[in-house]
Amino acid sequence: MATKRKTGPKKAPRKKYRPLRAAFLKLTLLALLIGTVGFIVYGSYLDKTIRRKFDGKRWSIPAVVYARPLELYVDLALTPETLEEELQLGGYRREQAAKDPGGYERGGNVIRLVTRDFAFADGLEKSAAVTVSFSGQRIASIKRTDSGETLPLVRLDPARIGSFHPREHEDRILLARKDLPNLLVKTLIAVEDRHFYRHFGVDPLAVIRAMFANIRAGETVQGGSTLTQQLVKNFFLDNRRTLWRKINEAVMAVLLEMHYSKDEILTAYANEIFLGQDGGRAVHGFGLASQFYFRRDLADISPAQIALLVGLIKGPSYYDPRRHVDRCLQRRQAVLDMMLAEGVIDREAHKTALAVKIEEGDTFQSGFNRYPAFLALVRRHLDRDYHEEDLTTDGLKILTTLDPQVQMQVERELSKTLAALEKQGKRQDLEGAVVVSSREGGEILAVAGGRKPRDSGFNRALDAMRPIGSLIKPAVYLTALQNGYTLASPVQDVALTLDNEGGKKWRPANFDKKEHGRVPLYEALAHSYNLATVRTGMDIGVEKVAANVRLLGVDRDFPPLPSFLLGAAPMTPLEVSQMYQTLASGGFYLPQRVIGEVLTADNKLVKRYGLSVEQRFGPELVFLLNTALKKVVSEGTGRGLGAYLPDSLQAAGKTGTSDDLRDSWFVGFTGDRLGVVWIGCDDNKPTGLTGATGALVAWGNIMRSLHPQVLELAEPPGIEWGKADLRGFAQSGSEGRAELLLPFIAGSMPQGAERPSASPLVEKIEDAGASIFNTIRGWFR
């Protein structure tokens, strides 16, 4: 009989997978350890990144460029329309009743305005409410609006005309925490981050709330990012919508809050946030946005305007008040409703703000590179003294010499003249360039680089090297006067043949293809006789003429070829302007200036660009030459100017035409301004225009619009007058006159010349008071 085997309690089977679980646990712990270490290392990296950028220079602030400040005084030649135009250019607002800085109102011939604070090199010009009354085309009185006190002078804050940006073309006006209005701060928190002062950088409740709102709507209608996270995204990260970026954003937001106070973060956000686009310039921060949209300082904007700016955060382009008014109104209303719900404003303020219309921006002019041709010249001058980084990151303030009134007239009249010339059957692709400067000080007041003033392309005023034709002739005759010639000296206007470059024969000819025989020197210049000019230049030496051109201010060497005497050497309009500036200044070389002062961002003077004067030619020589240049206008090739300006203006000038009518030039000066005009085609083909039929017309239109002063040449010591006998000369240009009163350097008067009892200019000079010659002579004293 078999026996039953006894069995004990059943044992649990061995777990053969226990070693695997242990290994997995170890790997998991190791991975967690590595992950923790990695997170700490990466967090440390992010922490250093945050502190390095946030503790350093947070933004690259572009240098801001300003026009000259407009100074108002009694009897200034200015109309209400012109003042209003300049106020608009400077960002002033036309209002029913001007109360705040940057506002003005107009009633007929009276303009009331409130100027804005502006820090000049000589101190802060405080805001003031003033009333300006006009009579005719001049200022009749200037008074304080509140007290009626008469003011001798009011200096307006200058218009912002451009800025030099780093590559990202961002612009902003930096604000401190104290500059942020409380209403803006409360609105910002109510709309964008209600728990800003309670969370640690990330708001979990806001994330959950946004998630449920988006699920209910079936689309993304609400975000859960805090202000701190938005700042991190805009300041440190890009806009890619990835999980990794969101993780970085959250971590960096927490780190940012660990190191910096809420007020620091809020202020940085207010300066960083993108709020619009101004052409190629990105508008960042509430400070610049307030100026851009409302022409007001941030401290002066209304609840409705604050709501509009805060509403733009959601989509500056989508809610752009200039392009999408209805959308902007809806968004502004939504923000105002939130302001009411959160107790930021009361019902009365809410009702008032809802009724406010969106301000029209049609008359607003951008402050971003408004005059690119002039700004290009400013940049070239600054490049001599400053590094690129200085101009694009340090927020320098550049106060220039640009006169907005002159610049606007130059742009208008050049464009109108070119269009009129094209209608006359000339080329349909005419271009032009203009440079206008102050006759006494050499400040460049306006520059046009082409007929499209906002085009920042090829700058013809600075870079178009074109043959100047007869504009070279004053240099030829100035050299002749230095070498024994007088205005009455006989010169032969007869044909000749010369060897030019490469041994080629050169046979110059007059424009009318005629010879005029024996003529006085002043007539050869006034009527622009080519043959007489070449003969005179060859007699005195082409090298001497070229040397004088350099002394006049064209800092280049020219080959001393005979064709140089008729302007075959190319120059830019800017070089021509500098050359004639020396003549207009009575022989004193004044390097033309476009910059007055440079200030730091905190208004400390960096450099003042003062007047530099060097006497390069005797005043008596230049007086003789300028007398002849006045005859160019009164009886020579420039006499067509009489159709635009009265003869009593006594302007001086010179026409210039290059071969085959490719280039049309005119240079002239009045009592207060010097102007250079070039007209031609970019393909260098003939225009069908001479200097008198093209550039002179534009010059006349421009100067007529500027109401120029009479040109009264100051007679220097050492000049005597005599009646030159013209009977021995050909009568082609002297209109049959037997004699002509001309000035001579003492001791050089021709024999037989009759001396008048007194200089014909003495009384005029005494009546005119301080003249340009006396002014410059005073600089040396």
For residue range 135-144, what is the model confidence (pLDDT) as tens digits? Answer: 988 999 999 9
CATH number at residue 339: 1.10.3810.10
The segment with the largest mean pLDDT, out of 379-383, 412-416, 427-431, is 412-416
- Other C-beta atoms closer than 10 Å to the C-beta of 141 total 13
For residue range 597-619, what is the model confidence (pLDDT) as tens digits? Answer: 999 988 999 999 888 899 999 99
Average pLDDT over residues 637-660: 96
Percent of the chain with pLDDT over 90: 60
pLDDT value, residue 281: 78
The reply to whether 50 and 75 lie within a common domain is: no
Percent of the chain with pLDDT over 70: 85
* pLDDT above 50: residue 427: yes
Average pLDDT value for the chain: 86
The answer to whether residues 106 and 120 touch, using CB atoms and an 8 Å cutoff, is no
pLDDT value, residue 667: 98
pLDDT band at 554 (very low <50, low <70, confident <90, very high): very high
The reply to whether 100 and 232 lie within a common domain is: no
Structure tokens at 458: 């090829």
- Other C-beta atoms closer than 10 Å to the C-beta of 400 total 28
The H-or-E segment that residue 463 falls in is: helix 460-463
> Where in the sequence is the domain holding 539, given as residue range(s)?
411-771
Report how many domains make up the chain.
Answer: 4
pLDDT value, residue 5: 52
If one compares 377 and 230, the residue with the highest pLDDT of the two is 377
* pLDDT above 50: residue 768: no
pLDDT value, residue 601: 87
The answer to whether residues 431 and 663 touch, using CB atoms and an 8 Å cutoff, is no
pLDDT value, residue 62: 80
pLDDT value, residue 762: 45
The reply to whether 337 and 418 lie within a common domain is: no
The active-site residue out of 470, 489, 563, 577 is 470
User: Residue 366: inside a domain, yes or no?
Assistant: no
Interstrand relation of 160-164 and 154-155 (parallel, antiparallel or unpaired): unpaired
The reply to whether 15 and 99 lie within a common domain is: no
Q: Out of 223-227, 539-543, 576-580, 619-623, which region has the weakest mean confidence (pLDDT)?
A: 223-227
pLDDT band at 713 (very low <50, low <70, confident <90, very high): very high
The residues, ordered by sequence, that sit 6+ positions from 509 with a Cβ below 8 Å of its Cβ are 495, 530, 531
pLDDT value, residue 397: 93
The reply to whether 149 and 198 lie within a common domain is: no
The reply to whether 434 and 546 lie within a common domain is: yes
757 is an active site residue: no
* pLDDT above 60: residue 223: no
The active-site residue out of 192, 575, 620, 715 is 192
CATH number at residue 614: 3.40.710.10
Q: Look at residues 159, 188, 215 and tell me which one is the last residue of a structural domain.
A: 159
Handedness of CA 85, 90, 95, 97 (dihedral sign): negative
CATH number at residue 136: 3.30.2060.10
For residue range 102-149, what is the model confidence (pLDDT) as tens digits? Answer: 999 999 999 999 999 999 989 999 999 999 999 988 999 999 999 999
The reply to whether 332 and 472 lie within a common domain is: no
Q: Out of 38-47, 339-348, 557-566, which region has the weakest mean confidence (pLDDT)?
A: 38-47
pLDDT value, residue 776: 47
Handedness of CA 68, 72, 76, 81 (dihedral sign): positive
The reply to whether 316 and 242 lie within a common domain is: yes
Q: How far apart are CA 690 and CA 638, in angstroms?
A: 11
pLDDT value, residue 15: 54
User: Residue 506: inside a domain, yes or no?
Assistant: yes
The reply to whether 311 and 452 lie within a common domain is: no
The reply to whether 511 and 635 lie within a common domain is: yes
User: Residue 378: inside a domain, yes or no?
Assistant: no
For residue range 148-191, what is the model confidence (pLDDT) as tens digits? Answer: 999 999 999 999 998 887 656 778 888 889 999 999 999 999 99
pLDDT value, residue 402: 97
**The pTM is what?**
0.82
Average pLDDT over residues 38-55: 66
Q: Look at residues 93, 128, 159 and tell me which one is the last residue of a structural domain.
A: 159
Q: What is the DSSP string of 632-671?
A: HHHHSTTGGGGGTS-GGG--EEEEEE-GGG-EEEEEEE-S
Average pLDDT over residues 367-377: 84
Q: How far apart are CA 158 and CA 67, in angstroms?
A: 6
Q: How far apart are CA 293 and CA 291, in angstroms?
A: 6
The reply to whether 29 and 85 lie within a common domain is: no
The answer to whether residues 724 and 740 touch, using CB atoms and an 8 Å cutoff, is yes
The reply to whether 678 and 721 lie within a common domain is: yes
pLDDT value, residue 13: 53
192 is an active site residue: yes
Beta strands in 302-410 (DSSP E): 397-400
Q: What is the DSSP string of 87-109?
A: HHHTT-EE-SS--STTEEEEETT
User: Residue 227: inside a domain, yes or no?
Assistant: yes
Structure tokens at 372: 């690119």
514 three-class SS: coil
Q: How far apart are CA 585 and CA 22, in angstroms?
A: 97
The residues, ordered by sequence, that sit 6+ positions from 236 with a Cβ below 8 Å of its Cβ are 49, 50, 53, 252
User: Residue 212: inside a domain, yes or no?
Assistant: yes
Question: Which amino acid, residue 488?
Answer: A
pLDDT value, residue 245: 63
pLDDT value, residue 1: 47
pLDDT value, residue 296: 82
The segment with the largest mean pLDDT, out of 128-142, 292-306, 365-379, is 128-142
User: Residue 671: inside a domain, yes or no?
Assistant: yes
Average pLDDT over residues 432-457: 93
* pLDDT above 80: residue 50: no
Q: Out of 214-223, 229-238, 418-427, 593-602, which region has the weakest mean confidence (pLDDT)?
A: 214-223
Average pLDDT over residues 72-96: 92
* pLDDT above 80: residue 772: no
Q: Look at residues 37, 59, 81 and tell me which one is the last residue of a structural domain.
A: 59
Average pLDDT over residues 702-729: 91
DSSP 3-state helix, strand, coil percentages of the chain (rounded to 5)?
40, 20, 40
pLDDT value, residue 766: 38
User: Residue 376: inside a domain, yes or no?
Assistant: no
User: Residue 673: inside a domain, yes or no?
Assistant: yes
Average pLDDT over residues 414-432: 92
If one compares 247 and 381, the residue with the highest pLDDT of the two is 381
* pLDDT above 90: residue 543: yes
If one compares 215 and 498, the residue with the highest pLDDT of the two is 498
Q: How far apart are CA 138 and CA 80, in angstroms?
A: 9
* pLDDT above 70: residue 220: no
pLDDT value, residue 34: 72
pLDDT value, residue 238: 66
Find the Cα–Cα–Cα–Cα dihedral 240, 244, 247, 249, rounded to 10°.
-30
Beta strands in 214-289 (DSSP E): 274-278, 281-284
